[in-house]
Amino acid sequence: MSQTKYSTILRQCRLLGTDGRSTVDIAIDNNKIAAISPKIPELGEWEIDIQGKLVCPPFVESHIHLDSALTAGEPRWNHSGTLFEGIQIWGERKQSLTLEDVKTRAIETLKQQASQGILFVRTHADVSEPTLTALQGLLSVREAVKDWMTLQVVAFPQDGIYGSPENDKLLETALEMGADAVGGIPHYELTREDGVKSVQRIFELAEKYNRLIDIHCDEIDDEQSRFLEVVAACAIRSGAGSRVTASHTTAFGSYNNAYAFKLMGILQKSRLNFIANPLINITLQGRADTYPKRRGMTRVKELWQQGLNVSLGHDCVRDPWYSLGTGNMLDVAHMAVHVCQMTGMEEIAACFQMVTENGAQTLFLGDENYGIAAGKPANLIVLDADSCYDAIRRRAAVRYVISRGKLLAETVPAKTSFL
């Protein structure tokens, strides 16, 4: 006779990459995935019939600025739509930051993200501000949400490490305070030489404090902005490539093909991770162009074809750089499919991986902490979709979000009747 053995069983789940009608039952116990098989004979205290919908690991938001989230329009709107006006406006807004202000906006954004199936987030915290309020706020949020969300904090010197004399020290203090990763912005330093020096300094600090690296790198349309090669060279020499991420790298979309070809060889040796942010960079870049107007995206398809790890980020949810943003990773993947022209079926599936597994690899979560397999933590989502293609096309609702074995959020998809 069947007996209750597990706390939860999800019946008839369709896993990614499985064809046809085959489904599995997934049992959860003690916050872990306890069993996966076509038919689990035992009962769960709580059971849901998933009815063949897609069950996959949670979305990973590999690049967001939670310190500036939900501040769009404060103190004014970004009229030019450029990165530089955004940095200026944020420079004004950050004068009035308080811990409460940072924490409230960050937690509200994280709840929106979790409700849409994200359970792993890497946020940048601006550390080029003398009180380190953004960093302190986000470190305490990391602690406050840890029972339902994994948050990584990057110490990010928005105004440059050498933009003013105290910034280098502030960056190091941020690491002493517990930031998970070191960031930088070499293309915004005053000179090319300062940019190179900043990358070297980031690697030195990462080694000293044993931290990950995530650099805002070449986020500009200037084809002369070539800090990615410096990051790759440091990664090759230090052997740290898989712990290092180059974010944005939009100038790579403007490099001449001869240079891009040479660079690709160096990148392959480096084993760097890449993050593209298609929603924002399609609006931020190309602003100095007339026509033809560049897309300002890094070479996502080519990096993927070369077997490099690429993930996708939202970057902003209603801030001085991007007043839109919903936190929904399917919006990000949908935009990537368009802007990167990844419309083939395998390419669409790759874009889905870029907001799930590849993000987990970028965050260096470790194989044992992410994915759907017996013995792993029970973090998973149920999409109101039959396949990842269907999910991206319709930006399907996330029906259930299960975090650490517990139901964290539930969405009832909108229903329309044609009369």
- Rounded least distance, CB 298 to ligand 17E, Å: 13
Amino acid at 418: F
Between residue 86 and residue 125, which ones bind Fe ion under the rule CB under 5 A?
none
- What are the DSSP calls for 346-357, one per residue? HHHHHHHHHTTH
Nearer to Fe ion, 126 or 315 (CB): 315
Find which of Fe ion, ligand 17E, none residue 123 binds, CB within 5 to 8 Å per kind: none
Work out whether 220 is an interface residue with ligand 17E (CB under 6 A).
no
Q: Which stretch binds Fe ion (CB under 5 A): 36-44, 174-182, 294-302, 308-316?
A: 308-316
Number of residues that bind ligand 17E (CB under 6 A): 10
Q: Which of 312, 156, 286, 170 is nearest to 219 (CA)?
A: 286
Between residue 308 and residue 337, which ones bind ligand 17E under the rule CB under 6 A?
315-316, 321
Instruction: Give the pair of three-digit tokens for residue 69.
Output: 């989230």
Nearer to Fe ion, 129 or 315 (CB): 315
- Rounded least distance, CB 219 to Fe ion, Å: 7
Q: Which of 28, 31, 34 is nearest to 47 (CA)?
A: 28
**Locus of tokens 């410096």:** 230
Cβ partners under 8 Å of residue 231, min gap 6: 199, 215, 217, 244, 246, 270, 272
**Cα-to-chain-centroid distance, residue 299:** 17
Find which of Fe ion, ligand 17E, none residue 185 binds, CB within 5 to 8 Å per kind: ligand 17E
Nearer to ligand 17E, 154 or 363 (CB): 154
Point out the residue whose Cβ comes nearest to ligand 17E: 321
Site string for ligand 17E, 331-370 (x = CB under 6 A): ----------------------------------------
319: helix, strand or coil? strand
Q: How far apart are CA 152 and CA 138, in angstroms?
A: 9
Find which of ligand 17E, Fe ion, none residue 219 binds, CB within 5 to 8 Å per kind: ligand 17E
Work out whether 385 is an interface residue with ligand 17E (CB under 6 A).
no
**Locus of tokens 């924002």:** 280
Out of 61, 219, 302, 368, pick the active-site residue.
219
Between residue 57 and residue 76, which ones bind ligand 17E under the rule CB under 6 A?
65
417: helix, strand or coil? coil
Find which of Fe ion, ligand 17E, none residue 118 binds, CB within 5 to 8 Å per kind: none
**Locus of tokens 């939009």:** 250
State the first-to-last Cα distance of the chain, in angstroms, to the nearest integer: 48
Between residue 255 and residue 284, which ones bind ligand 17E under the rule CB under 6 A?
280
Find which of ligand 17E, Fe ion, none residue 23 binds, CB within 5 to 8 Å per kind: none
- Rounded least distance, CB 63 to Fe ion, Å: 6
Work out whether 153 is an interface residue with ligand 17E (CB under 6 A).
no
Strand arrangement, sheet containing 309-312:
59-64, 118-126, 150-156, 181-182, 212-217, 244-248, 273-276, 309-312
- What are the DSSP calls for 41-88, one per residue? -SEEEEEEE-TT-EEEPPEEEEEE-TTTTT-TTSS---SS--HHHHHH
Query: For every residue of 205-252, which 3-state class applies, written as one string?
Result: HHHHHCCEEEEEECCCCCCCCCHHHHHHHHHHHHCCHHHEEEEECHHH
Nearer to ligand 17E, 82 or 238 (CB): 82
The reply to whether 219 belongs to the active site is yes
Active site residues: 219
Give the binding site for ligand 17E (CB under 6 A): 65, 83, 158, 185, 216, 219, 280, 315-316, 321
Give the binding site for Fe ion (CB under 5 A): 315
